A and B are shown apart, each in its own frame.
Chain A
C-alpha cells in the first residue's frame, strides 16, 4: 500500500510528541483504542481556564503510519482552538487532509475520539475542581 506524502511527513516528523502531567487540572487526557486492535492513541490538551483555548497539545500513538499521522495532525489542529471549536473537528476532515484510503478511515475516527476523550477528561476535571474551590471559600 502506498502512503500519501502527508502521512509520510507526519510519520517521519511527528508533531507534538510527548506527555503532559495527567494530574494537572489544566490538562485533559484521552486514551482510546486497544492494544489487541493494533491502535492506541493518547492525546493530551492543556487548556487556559479563562479563555477555554487549547494552548498546548501532545500525543503518543501505538499504531500504523496512518494512525500516527492522524493523531499528529489532530494535535496540530486543536492547538489554538477553543474547546468548542476543537469538538467540531470531524474525522472526515482528517481523512481528506491525509488522503487516507478507506481501509484507514478507522484511524481518523480514533483521532476524533481521542480529541473528544481529552476534552471530556478536562471538562470532568473542571466540574470536580469547582466544588472544591467553593468549599475552600
Chain B
C-alpha cells in the first residue's frame, strides 16, 4: 500500500535529500562561522565549505568555480542577471529580448526595466512552447544587450534549443542569460557547450534546501560584468553583498554533486515513470490533451488537460495527491495559466490542466495510484459536467452562445 499523501509537484519544490541534510548539519551546529571571517578557524571552515560547494555546482554545469555567485534563490538570480546586465551595459544599448513563457521573475523584472526606459521584446512561442529561432534573429538589433530565454519551462517542462540560441547570441555579440532552474540537475546542461553567459540556478529544485540559489556569470570570452542589485560588504566578487548562507550553500553543493553523479540513471527513471503515467491515463480516458512538446521536455514533467473537468475540482477530488493546475481558480491572479495561453491552449482547456511533476522519490506504485485516482475522479466529474454531456450529444461547444457575465 502506498503512503499517502503522495507528493508529485516537484516543479514547485523538491524534498530535501537526506544526504543533503547530512552535509548541511555541521554548518547548522558546531561549524557556524561566517565565511567572510578571515582570521579564525570558524571562518576558514565556513569558507572551505562554500568553496567546495562552488566547485560542486560549477562541475554540474561545466563552469569554473570562480564563475558561481551565490544568491538567495532563483528570483534573486533572475533579477540580478537581467537588471545587472541592463544597468551595467546601458551605455551600449537599451534593448532586451525574452519570451512570453518565462517565469514571472524574468517577465516582471523586464517590465520594471521598461519603466526605466529599456525596450523589451517578448518573443512568442509556437504551440509546442518553443521559441522560433528566426523570430529571435530578427528581433536582435545593434541596441540589444541581453537575450534571456529559459532552458526548461516550469509549467510544461518544454526545453528550448539553448545551444542554438546561445550560438545566435554569440554570433551577434549579445549576452545570453538562461533561467536554468528547472533544467539544471535534471537534464545535461553545460554553459560552454551551449554558449551560455549567465545562468540562474536554485537548490530546492533539485533536492537541496530552500533559500539558496546561484548565478553563473561567465569570466572569459566574454567577461560578463553585472551591476549589483544589493549594496553592502562586497561579497561574491562585488556582485552580491550579504553574509553567505553557509549551511544552505553546503547543501546546494551536495545536491549538485548527487544530481551530476546520478543524472543518467535518474533521468531515465523519471522518463519511464512519466511515460507510464501518460500512457495509463491515455488508455483509460478519452479527450485528454498534452500541453507542450512531448519530445523536448523534462523527463519528469507531464502537463495535461482533461477536457470538461475544471482543474481545481479535479485537485479537490485527488486530495491525497499533491499536483498543481493551470486553472484560474488555483492561481493568485484568477487568470488561467499565461504559459498555456501563450501555447495557444484555449482558456476552456487551460482551466482543465494539471501539472504532474515526478521526482527522485516517486515510485512506480505511486504513479499507478495517481493514475488510478485521476481516472476515477475525472470519470466522476465528467458525469457531473454539463459540457461533457453536451459534447456527447454532439453539440459543438464553440458554437454555443454562452451568457457570460456582463
Q: Which residues of A come within 8 Å of B, CB atoms?
A: 3, 8, 11, 14, 17, 19, 31-42, 60-65, 67-68, 103, 106, 109, 117
Contact = CB atoms under 8 A, between A and B. Distances in A.
Contacts of B346: 36
Contacts, number: 81
Given A62-B308, A64-B327, A65-B313, A38 B384 contact: no
Contact of A60 (B309, B389, B402): B389
A35 to B, nearest CB: 4
Given A35-B387, A62-B385, A65-B313, 6 more contacts: A31-B386, A33-B404, A38-B329, A60-B386, A62-B386, A65-B316
A14 B404 contact: no
Contacts of B316: 3, 8, 11, 64-65
Q: Which of B313, B389, B403 has the most CB of A within 10 A?
A: B313
Interface in B315-356: 316-317, 327-329, 334, 336, 346-348, 351
B312 interface: yes
A34 B387 CA distance: 10
B384 A40 contact: no
Interface in B104-142: none
A2 to B, nearest CB: 11
B336 A62 contact: no
A33 B405 CA distance: 7
Nearest to B317: A11
B327 A61 contact: no
Contacts of B231: none
Contacts of B403: 31-34, 117
A34 B313 contact: no
23 contacts: A3-B316, A11-B313, A17-B383, A19-B389, A31-B386, A35-B347, A36-B347, A36-B348, A38-B347, A40-B402, A41-B386, A42-B389, A60-B386, A61-B384, A61-B386, A62-B308, A62-B385, A64-B316, A64-B327, A65-B312, A65-B313, A67-B310, A106-B405
Given A3-B316, A35-B397, A64-B310, A40 B387 contact: yes
Contact of A63 (B313, B336, B405): B313
A103 B334 contact: yes
B387 A68 contact: no
Interface in B357-386: 383-386
B390 to A, nearest CB: 9
B334 A42 contact: no
Contacts of B384: 14, 17, 60-62, 68
B163 to A, nearest CB: 38
A40 B384 CA distance: 11
B220 to A, nearest CB: 50
B12 to A, nearest CB: 16
A8 B317 CA distance: 10
